[in-house]
Structure 1
Amino acid sequence: MSSVRPEGARERRRLGSEIRESLRALGIQLSLLNQQVGARLELKSIDVECLDLINRHGPIGASALARLAGLHPATLTGILDRLERGGWIARERDPNDRRATLLRPLRDRNAEIIGLYSGMSSAVEEICADYDENELALLADFLRRTSTAGRTATDELSGR
């Protein structure tokens, strides 16, 4: 026999549903924010996302970036061309493999990006101020695990 009362199970389902809906809404809002940032920088949303991946994981090879971004390598070529023309990245020879190229972020323009995201960053800092360290650790763990679940779902859909 279950130790969870029916009303407790209903509340748990309701809260789980509320979390999933909030994550969907957050995803949409972050996508819209990236679109606005991209428009200000004269980049497409996918360019901004790839630039973020290069900043996080670079120097990185184009194949590895394509896998991380879930993009076909041919699609990535146009994105990389735009990022290179805009002064966001450099393509350099891989010192370990003369045939390969690494993508390196150019930090000169990072202040532009940071400025465009500053409103969201400040709002998140204010929200975090309402939580104690244990609650923040719980939230960080939840978001990390949710991000991993999203990556797994993306990989499954793309056949990886």
Structure 2
Amino acid sequence: MSSISSRDRRHLTNGVKEHLRELSVQLALLNHRVSAGAGLKQVDLDCLDLITRHGPIGPSALARRAGLHPATMTGILDRLQKGGWIVRERDPEAADRRAVTLRAVKERMGEIYRLFGGMNAAMDELCEEYTPEELEVIAGFLRRTTDAGQEVTADLV
């Protein structure tokens, strides 16, 4: 690591934070348009994404991951199920026979993938400009930034 002044380091760090804020806004706008294009509320799309990435998953575990109250989650899951985005299935391994798991309906996910297609293609093109080693550093930075965000968010409750 090169030696730079604390002032220069602060300037670079502030630049990174500013770009992360801009990225946050752009991703929020993208997600808003994708959710509208799919006829979903933003929170429904967020929960559908969590179910897709972490499912099958139980409603309580999903509520914890999403940071939502279980009663709020019930309405979201009802909308997603009614729209054909998810299915609720009995969990045969649960002690409580009423327990269910949530699974995304793969046939419907093509619609979401299509709406995100432009961004996915842009990201593929952008990543081609970096070496595997650079991509590892970027992925590590993003993972650590996500972890820091989760920790800070947990402290706010």
Give me the TM-score of the superposition, normalised by structure 2. 0.93
Aligned length: 154
State the identity as a percent. Answer: 55
Of 58, 65, 70, the residue aligned with 2:67 is 70
Q: Point out where structure 2 has 5 or more consecutive residues left out of the alignment.
A: none
Q: 2:42 is aligned with what amino acid?
A: S
In structure 2, the residue matched to 1:107 is: 106
Larger strand share, 1 or 2: 1
Match for residue 149 of structure 2?
A: 150
Offset of residue 145 of structure 1? 0.8
SS of corresponding position for 1:95: coil
Deviation string 1:68-101 (CA, Å, 9 cap, x unpaired) is 0000111111111110011110011111121211
1:53 aligns with 2:39: no
RMSD of aligned C-alpha atoms? 1.3
> What does residue range 1-160 of structure 1 map to in structure 2 within 5 Å?
8-97=5-94, 98-158=97-157
Looking at structure 1, the residues matched to 41 and 25 of structure 2 have their Cα atoms a distance apart, in angstroms, of 16
What is the alpha-carbon distance in structure 2 between the residues aligned to residue 77 and residue 42 of structure 1?
18
CA distance in 2, matches of 1:56, 1:71: 17
Aligned amino acid, residue 24 of structure 1: R
* TM-score relative to the length of structure 1: 0.91
Q: Deviations over 1:18-37 (max 9, x none)?
A: 11111111111111111101
Structure 1 distance, partners of 2:64, 2:154, is 9
Q: Which segment is superposed worse, 36-45 or 146-155?
A: 146-155
Work out the CA distance in 1 between the residues paired with 2:62 and 2:114.
Answer: 25
CA distance in 2, matches of 1:155, 1:25: 23
AA at the equivalent of 1:125: D
**1:3-25 CA-partner distances (Å, limit 9, x unpaired):** x97x6211111111111111111
**Distance apart, 1:116 and its partner CA:** 0.5
